[in-house]
Structures are given as structure tokens and as C-alpha cells.
Amino acid sequence: AGTERTDSQRIAAGGIDADRIEAGRRAYELDRAHVFHSWQAQGPFDPMTIVDAAGPYVWDGEGRKLLDMSSQLVNTNIGHQHPGVVAAIQEQAGKLCTIAPQHVNDARSEAARLIAERTPGDLDHVFFTNGGADANEHAIRMARLHTGRTKVLSAYRSYHGGTQLAVNVTGDPRRFANDYSAEGIVHFMPAYPYRSYFNSTSEDEETQRALAHLEDMITLEGPGNIAALILETVPGTAGIYAPPAGYLAGVRELTAKYGIVFIADEVMAGFGRTGAWFAGDHWDVTPDLITFAKGVNSGYVPLGGVAISEAIFETFRDRAYPGGLTYSGHPLACAAAVATITAMETEGMVANADRLGEDIIGPGLREIAERHPSVGDVRGMGCFWAVELVKNRTTKEPLAAYGGSSPEMNEVIAALKAEGVLPFANFNRIHVVPPLNTPDDDVRFGLAALDRALEVADRYV
């Protein structure tokens, strides 16, 4: 099934029409007058207009083509305007746009089946949400009700969403303004080999020390009080730092030992991003709950959810679950999920992400690191990579302080845009997170652009 994408095709063939540019200008004016943007000081914020998108590319308000190396907020795992998914949404809209969550709907049932078949172990029941933050909120609620305990452990240098509880479990500075309702939430130090909190000199040592620290935290907080431990399998926004070997298995062991529900947040890392359906698959770890969103339908229609193990499902077999959402399992979102997962499967995108990471992105970034003294660390897997920029490789002084931006980083980002690449940048990091089906040559184009843009960063070393 395909949908004609005349605009995108026209653009790809030779440029944007003047009327599109004009519509973009009008949109910009209205945006400035009426749209209140997330996470921004509204005054100085100068948003980029996007007038069209196709595959791994977007076109800005001037009609310039940019490689979307950000996958937006790391969600367009299958790229923009995938014809099969667009057609599925249109078809579902023609059949049934919306239905309350208490009714059965074929798109929802089919999406739940496809998700349950891909989650590990016995996580065979799916509670749908509208995105990642509410998935985490509900996972924590389920864990508290299941255990009868209240405390939640979560890692520093993490991101779990912008709603109240999700931002409180988040371990980055965005939670500071919201800390007033953080009751019962305790943060621990994650395993982070590049900037080890445990003075480790090897990955193995980092694993051992980070796990010892975690067990101390559990003991000191009182295992009988701790409902859940929430952890990004591969932390994303906080720096795409995959756990060292043995760490996730150790977390699984500790949580099982103390009867704590292990919630794996796969909102960013899930649905193929790391070259596996779920990032935890790389280490054969089965948590009790998995939260997902973003890649489940590439963000074409808002959707998230919680995949639930049999034991936690049993808690609610004869006891009402006190929570729900008007749009839980929305048909348009679920139809998009069915089409997305099907396209990922039939077009081999998960394996392709793995290959891109192994053969092109990883080797390419390592080469770049050799050439540029401003690169402190490159790390990642699949289509999920971070380049950490520093002023000094020995001291690891970052190009922007933790929690902020810097004129130097802004210059690097501007240089990348000038090279035709839209990056995902956070603090002192550039994230290389293209769609999983980005053609090899376009990935190489993105890496070459990054290579040139990093000359700007080298000046500050």
C-alpha cells in the first residue's frame, strides 16, 4: 500500500514551491504569537520552521534540505512519511477515528499482539498510554499497588518524562523546578564508565562498584519500602551510555532478591533503535515492566504504553486497576503502530540499525574521534550514538557544563546545520541518531558533515 507524496517528491526532485515557503513564514508568525513551547524561555527562542519531510530528510522554512540526524526527538525510527504507515492511518481514519478504551477495537488488539510478541519473557499484557511520561507514571503506580510499597529508586543522569512523577524520577536538572513533590523518590549513581562515579578504571570494575553502590542504597533505604527501580536500559537523553557488561543482569538480580519491581524504560531505546527490538535484549535481561513510546509507531500519532509481566497482571486480575486515559489505545495511534512494526519487520530495519552501527556509524565516529581533539568519547550501538565534546581530553572538561548550553556548543550546532544536518544536541553532546532505514550514503553524508563541523569545536581545545 502506498500514498502519493507529491509534495515531498516534488521537493526531492528540485526544490520547494514559493507557496510552501510563504505558508511557512505565516506559520512562524502565528507560532511566535500563540504557541507556548516546551522547555523554553519563550522570548529568545527561535524555532526552526519545517515545511516538509520525507524519509531521513526535512526541509526548513527557507526550503533548505537537512538530514534529520535527530529523528526529531529520537522517535521517527522509520523516517518521515513512510507511505505504508501514512496509508494505514488514512485507512483507519476512514473506518473509525476514535473509540473509548473500554471497547474492543481491531487496531488496538493487533498492536497489543505485535508488541507482546516482541517483548521478552512473559510481558504479554499491554496498557496503552499517550506517550512515554505517562507510561512511566502508570508503571510506577502498578509497581506500588503490586508491592504495597511506596519508594522508587531511579538513576541520576536519566530522563523519564515531563509530567509530575516522571520528571521527579528523572535524574537531570529539569527536575529541579519540580522537586517539591518528589516524596519517596531516591536517586542512585548509574554505571557510567566515561565519567565513573566510582573511580573505576575498567568496565568490569564499574559494573562491580555500581552494583555494590546500588545494593548499599537498597539496604539503606530499606528494601521493604521500595516498590520499584526505574532505569533506562540504555540511557538516551542523558548521554547514550550503554551499561557495562553485567550491569543490567546485576540490577535484575538485585531487584529480584529484594522483591522490587524492575521497570525498564525503553521509551527511547526500544523498537529497534539499538539494533534489537528492545535494548535489554542485548543483555538477555527481562524486567517486570517495560515502558515504551516513540519508536512504537515512529511518533506518527502519539502512543506509549507499559508491557506487563504475568505476576503483575495477576495483581489486577480480580482487583480494579485505578488508572486510565480517554485515549488509551487510540485507534489511529494503534493502526500506526501495527503498520510501523510491520514495516520494520518486512523491511528488516532492526537488523539494518545493527548493521549501520557496526559497519558505518561506529567505525566512522571512531575515525572522527582520532582526527578531532575535541572528541572526548564516542559510544553507542545501532542507530543510537553520542559524541561527547570536551575542551581537554585528559581532564574531560566538557564543552558545555552539565545541565546547560554554551556558545561553543551553539557554534558546533550551527556549523552542523550549515553543513545540511539537523542534530540532536544536549549539553556537551552531539547525538547521532538517524532513522533506522537511513540509506548508507546519507549516513556517510551526515558523518562527513559532523567531521567538518567539529573543526569548530577543536578551536576550543
Site string for ligand PLP, 3-32 (x = CB under 6 A): ------------------------------
Minimum distance of ligand PLP from residue 129's CB (angstroms): 8
- 80 beta partners: 55
Sign of CA dihedral 389, 392, 396, 400: negative
Task: Identify which range of 91-99, 157-165, 245-253, 386-394 contacts ligand PLP by CB under 6 A.
Answer: 157-165
- 203-232: contacts with ligand PLP (CB under 6 A): 232
Q: Determine how many CB atoms are found less than 10 A away from the CB of residue 164.
A: 13
Nearer CB in complex with ligand PLP: 374/426: 426
Among the candidate windows 78-86, 98-106, 154-162, 171-179, which touches ligand PLP by CB under 6 A?
154-162
- Pick 52 or 265: Cβ nearer ligand PLP: 265
For cell 558505518, what's the residue? 360
What is the nearest approach in angstroms of ligand PLP to the Cβ of residue 233?
9
How far from chain centre, in Å, is Cα 91? 28
Q: Among 382, 148, 426, which Cα is nearest to 269's?
A: 382
In this chain, which residue has its C-beta nearest to ligand PLP? Answer: 132
> Could you tell me if 76 and 435 are in contact, meaning their C-beta atoms sit under 8 angstroms apart?
yes
Q: How far apart are CA 63 and CA 136, in angstroms?
A: 38
Q: How far is the CB of 224 from ligand PLP (least distance, A)?
A: 28
Which residue type is seen at 13?
Answer: A
Instruction: Return left, alpha or beta for 417; rule: phi > 0 is left, psi -120 to 50 is alpha, else beta.
Output: alpha
Is residue 76 near ligand PLP by the rule CB under 6 A? no
**Count of C-beta atoms within a 10 Å radius of residue 323:** 14
Give all strands (DSSP E) within 107-169, no chain letters: 125-129, 151-155
What's the grid cell of residue 400?
A: 558545555
Burial (Cβ within 10 Å: 0-12, 13-18, ≥19) of residue 64: middle
By CB under 6 A, residue 160 contacts ligand PLP: yes
Determine, following the binding rule CB under 6 A, whether residue 137 of this chain makes contact with ligand PLP: no
- Please identify which residue in 24, 56, 79, 131 interacts with ligand PLP, judged by CB under 6 A: 131
Cα(384)–Cα(275) distance, rounded to whole angstroms? 9
The CB-of-57 to ligand PLP minimum distance in angstroms stands at 22
Instruction: Kindly identify the residues of this chain, within the stretch 93-122, that bind ligand PLP according to CB under 6 A.
Output: none
Instruction: Count Cα neighbours of 245 within 13 Å in the Cβ-side half-sphere.
Output: 4
C-alpha cell at 390: 570536551
Q: Which CB, 132 or 364, lies closer to ligand PLP?
A: 132
Which range binds ligand PLP by CB under 6 A, 95-103, 130-138, 205-213, 242-250? 130-138
Nearest to 228 by CA among 255, 191, 265: 255
Asked if 159 is part of the footprint of ligand PLP (rule: CB under 6 A), the reply reads yes
Q: Minimum CB separation from ligand PLP for residue 136, in Å?
A: 6
CB-based contact 222:207 (threshold 8 Å): no
Which of 265, 288, 377, 419 binds ligand PLP (CB under 6 A)? It is 265
End-to-end Cα, the chain, rounded Å:
52
Residue 167 binds to ligand PLP (criterion: CB under 6 A): no
Nearer CB in complex with ligand PLP: 263/415: 263
Q: Which stretch binds ligand PLP (CB under 6 A): 45-53, 159-167, 214-222, 248-256?
A: 159-167
- Which residue lies nearer to ligand PLP by CB, 353 or 447? 353
Taking CB under 6 A as the rule, which mask of x and - marks residues 283-302 in contact with ligand PLP? ----------x---------
Footprint (CB under 6 A) of ligand PLP, residues 297-336: 304
Choose among 261, 252, 265: nearest CA to 305. Answer: 265
In whole angstroms, how close is the CB of 421 to ligand PLP at the nearest point?
20
Candidate residues 70, 71, 77, 237; the one interacting with ligand PLP per rule CB under 6 A? 237
Q: How many residues bind ligand PLP (CB under 6 A)?
A: 16
161 binds ligand PLP, rule: CB under 6 A: yes
Q: Name the 3-class secondary structure at 159.
A: coil
By CB under 6 A, tell whether 383 contacts ligand PLP: no
Considering only 21-29, 111-119, 262-270, 367-375, which stretch makes contact with ligand PLP by CB under 6 A? Answer: 262-270
Answer yes or no whether residue 427 interacts with ligand PLP by CB under 6 A.
no
* CB 125 within 8 Å of CB 146: no
Query: What would the grid cell of residue 320 be?
Result: 480494579
The two most distant CA atoms of the chain are separated, in Å, by: 65
> What are the CA-CA distances from residue 10 to residues 6, 15, 65, 68 (Å)?
6, 7, 13, 19
Q: CA 331, 314, 248, 174 torsion: positive or negative?
A: positive
For position 268 contacting ligand PLP by CB under 6 A, the verdict is: yes
The residues of the shown chain that bind ligand PLP, judged by CB under 6 A, are 73, 131-133, 136, 159-161, 232, 236-237, 265, 267-268, 293, 304
